[in-house]
Amino acid sequence: MGRGRVQLKRIENKISRQVTFSKRRSGLLKKANEISVLCDAEVALIVFSTKGKLFEYSTESSMERILERYERYSYAEKRLSGSGPGQQDNWSLEHPKLVSRIELLQRNIKHYVGEDLDSLSLRELQTLEQQLDAALRRIRTRKNQVMHESIAELRKKEKTLQEQNSLLAKQIKENDKIVMERLHLIQRSSALVLSEPAPGSVPVPSLAAGLPV
């Protein structure tokens, strides 16, 4: 015979309820991680115990980013549904949520800079560490990308300068050649002018012309 369907209801025994909560919470966090990894989904999970203790899980994109995305999505849905007579009441309800959201962001900022860590549990500290590690990896990746882009840009400029220098050297060499050709031409012209007799001058007879043969 198959097992009958178990009816879900509140566990009356406090100890059993706490044990079940601990087991189910761990399983829920595990499932959230699995769907995040297997399906490449952004997952945010928030659980409060009966004592008000917070347990949360988020993907590497961080809880804040997912909650901000959820807020934008919810706001867009409300805008699409249109504003009615109860719109003012909705804004009144949104105000406490925004205040809580601001307080959460301020508290998380302190945690990210290493402040007010005494109130965090081991699980919360591990989650914070994972978020910081993920952020550090993204920062290093972006830094390496910027460095490679800067190096590529510098090499491009270096190549351009080398080409410009080669062109200038070629032009200087050509100019030097032209100058030397002009100097040779001037020297040849000067030599021809000096070797020709002046107009109207009497040529000087050679001393050998007056000797008897």
Q: Give strand pairing partners of 44.
A: 58
pLDDT of the chain, 213 residues: tens digit per residue: 456 666 788 888 889 988 999 999 989 989 988 998 898 888 889 888 888 888 888 886 677 788 888 877 776 666 666 555 555 556 666 777 777 778 878 888 888 888 888 877 888 888 888 888 888 898 999 999 999 999 999 999 999 999 999 999 999 999 999 999 888 888 888 777 666 665 555 555 554 455 454
Sign of CA dihedral 92, 94, 97, 99: negative
The model's pTM: 0.39
Q: Could you identify the residue written with the tokens 């993920």?
A: 134
**Angle, to 10 degrees, between the axis of helix 87-112 and the axis of helix 122-195?**
70
In three state form, how does the secondary structure of 134-171 look? HHHHHHHHHHHHHHHHHHHHHHHHHHHHHHHHHHHHHH
Residue 57: Cβ-neighbour burial (10 angstroms; 0-12, 13-18, 19+): buried
Which residue, 87, 88, 41, is CA-closest to 66?
41
